[in-house]
Amino acid sequence: LSECTVYWKQFSIGMKMFHSIKSIILTLLTIQRSIACGRAEYRTGDECCPMCSPGNRVHKHCTEFTSTSCVPCTDSSFLDEPNGLTACILCTNCDPGFGLKVKRSCRPSLDTVCGTLEGFYCLDPTKDGCRAAQRHSSCLPGQYISHTGTISTDTVCSDCTGDTYSDGSLTSCQPHTQCDILKLQQIKPGTHRSDSECGPQTSPPIAIIYAVVGVGVVVVLVLAVIAVK
């Protein structure tokens, strides 16, 4: 082989090795960039920056020479975990219009916790509170409250039976008033929705009184005539 041919072969082998090494280096750089940051770090560009602590947000990202600059959350906002965020999250609003009240106020590191207003029960419970509530059901006349509503359950209503009644606000059906036992006259019979209505005993009609008196007079006169005979 000529000296030129040998040189060319050596050159080709060298270029192949160069491209192989270049590929390996690029692959290593790609892997290095794709490796996730540490648990207490977040990625911005090619940097893995230290996270801000709960209650704080990123003011300036870290650089090769400086660490992350953090500032506290303000204006009813919070962040409850270590983070690399540049803005805090607005605190939850406990809207009374949805049956909610503040159970625990918002802090820079903790969101507001809502509870239920009196007369409401929770529809969407959370670990410590509630996200949505609904007013307890009202029982109808003819029903009684068999289970009073709580902060987690609705009111349960049941129907009255027999000679009992409820206006819907009672926890048990009540027996109808017995007018005759009270020596009163029943004006209106009771239903499952309402009690009996009683009133004073009324005097006999005047015509009956006259008839009784008239019969009495006739009897007296007849007896008088018989006595005279």
**Which CATH superfamily includes the segment(s) 38-90?**
Tumor Necrosis Factor Receptor, subunit A, domain 2 (2.10.50.10)
Please provide residue 17's backbone torsions phi and psi, each rounded to the nearest 5 degrees.
-65, -40
Q: Which residues pair with 175 in a beta bridge?
A: 164
Within the chain, all domains assigned CATH 2.10.50.10 are found at: 38-90, 136-199
Asked whether residue 34 carries a pLDDT value surpassing 50, the answer given is: no
- pLDDT (tens digit per residue) in 68-103: 999 999 989 999 999 999 999 999 999 999 999 999
Q: Find out whether 117 and 100 touch, Cβ atoms under 8 Å.
A: yes
Cα-atom radius of gyration of the chain, to the nearest Å?
46
Distance CA 27, CA 35 (A): 12
Asked whether residue 204 carries a pLDDT value surpassing 90, the answer given is: no
**Which CATH superfamily includes the segment(s) 136-199?**
Tumor Necrosis Factor Receptor, subunit A, domain 2 (2.10.50.10)
Q: Mean pLDDT across the chain, nearest whole number?
A: 85
- pLDDT (tens digit per residue) in 140-175: 999 999 999 999 999 999 999 999 999 999 999 999
Among 147, 118, 148, smallest CA distance to 135 is for 118
Asked whether residue 198 carries a pLDDT value surpassing 80, the answer given is: yes
Q: Find out whether 50 and 62 touch, Cβ atoms under 8 Å.
A: yes
Among 70, 111, 114, 113, smallest CA distance to 90 is for 111
Asked whether residue 4 carries a pLDDT value surpassing 50, the answer given is: no
Predicted pLDDT of residue 70: 98
